[in-house]
Amino acid sequence: MNKVACRTPAEGRDGVTNIPAWKFDTVRAAILDALKGGPIKAMTLKDAVGERLDDKTLADLGKLGWHVVTVKLEMEVRGEIERLDVKGPQQIRAV
């Protein structure tokens, strides 16, 4: 089974989490789709991703919130998305 190494942009954190490629690709596509309408608050990202996945995929995925955060962090490292420098809750947008 192919895996994707997911890193974090936080300094001082060197850990890598490997997740199945199909899970990474599924969540990544849903995040990018959610960001098509512009920046969104990070705390609403899980719900936005969940709305874009069918029940079987959600069940096969497992813990949605964990996967969304893990994939989001790797996407930040890759430069595909970025955090906005705004006051209040964290917001992200596609680059």
Angle, alpha carbons 23-72-68 (nearest 5°): 50
Domain containing 88 equals: 3-94
Mean pLDDT of the chain: 95
Give the model confidence (pLDDT) of 57-83 as tens digits.
999 999 999 999 999 999 999 999 999
Q: What is the CATH number of the domain that holds 36?
A: 1.10.10
- pTM, full prediction: 0.94
Work out whether the CA dihedral 3, 65, 36, 79 comes out positive or negative: negative
How many domains does the chain fold into?
1
Give the model confidence (pLDDT) of 25-37 as tens digits.
999 999 999 999 9
- Statement: residue 13 has pLDDT above 80: no
- Statement: residue 12 has pLDDT above 80: no
